[in-house]
């Protein structure tokens, strides 16, 4: 059985009412669309940047 984002949230202790469930599902689907083909395209998945640190160019 496919788990919805609302199922996931409820399992994590986040309350979700009926009205919110629809909005959350729509928003979740929008987010997945934004991701597009990222899983395939990301150039170096072993490279992890955890800091937003910059140097003067």
Q: Is the dihedral of CA 14, 19, 21, 27 positive or negative?
A: negative
Nearest to 3 by CA among 34, 30, 19, 25: 25
- Distance of closest approach, residue 45 Cβ to other proteins, in angstroms: 6
The Cα–Cα gap between 7 and 43 comes to 33
22 lines the binding site for other proteins (CB under 8 A): no
Q: Among residues 18 and 39, whose Cβ is nearest to other proteins? A: 39
The residues binding other proteins (CB under 8 A) are 5, 8-9, 12-16, 20, 23-24, 27-28, 31, 34-36, 38-39, 41-45, 47-57
């Amino acid at each position: 059985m496919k788990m919805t984002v609302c199922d996931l949230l409820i399992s994590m202790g986040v309350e979700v009412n009926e009205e919110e469930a629809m909005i959350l599902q729509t928003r979740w689907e929008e987010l997945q669309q934004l991701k597009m083909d990222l899983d395939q395209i990301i150039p170096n998945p072993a490279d992890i940047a955890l800091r937003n640190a910059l140097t003067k160019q």
